[in-house]
Amino acid sequence: MQMLDSDITKRNKNQNQQQFSVGNRSLHVEKYPFLTEFSELISNVSIKVLKNILLSPEQKMVAEIRYQADKSKKLLYDEYEPREKEIRHYYEASLLIDHRRQWDEHRKSANIKQDSLLE
């Protein structure tokens, strides 16, 4: 357990060190197992397989709405540059979001079962 520093500015900085960030891959891997492997897998399948087999209708709709929203925003603001430029990236992002959601749900149900065993 880490002791809090009496200097408030340092304390706030230290408390936030465990937050997820792009560079903190090890925490992502701990929280979401197989994220790297799943990401590599879906990046290697064809867009036809992504769109017609792997994505649910809801996931496909969310990805396409996000893609269209970014295109519209680009038309309104010339300086706006979306992170993803191809629809494929939006499809992949939808699958990765769902992958994380499933792990979160798994943890909740696993914790409930574990807690009930302790009682």
Per-residue pLDDT tens over the stretch 27-80: 445 677 778 888 888 999 999 999 999 999 999 999 999 999 999 998 889 888
Contact predicate 41/95, CB 8 Å: no
Q: What does pTM read for this prediction?
A: 0.62
pLDDT at res. 19: 45
CA nearest 66: which of 49, 44, 82, 77? 82
pLDDT band at 87 (very low <50, low <70, confident <90, very high): very high
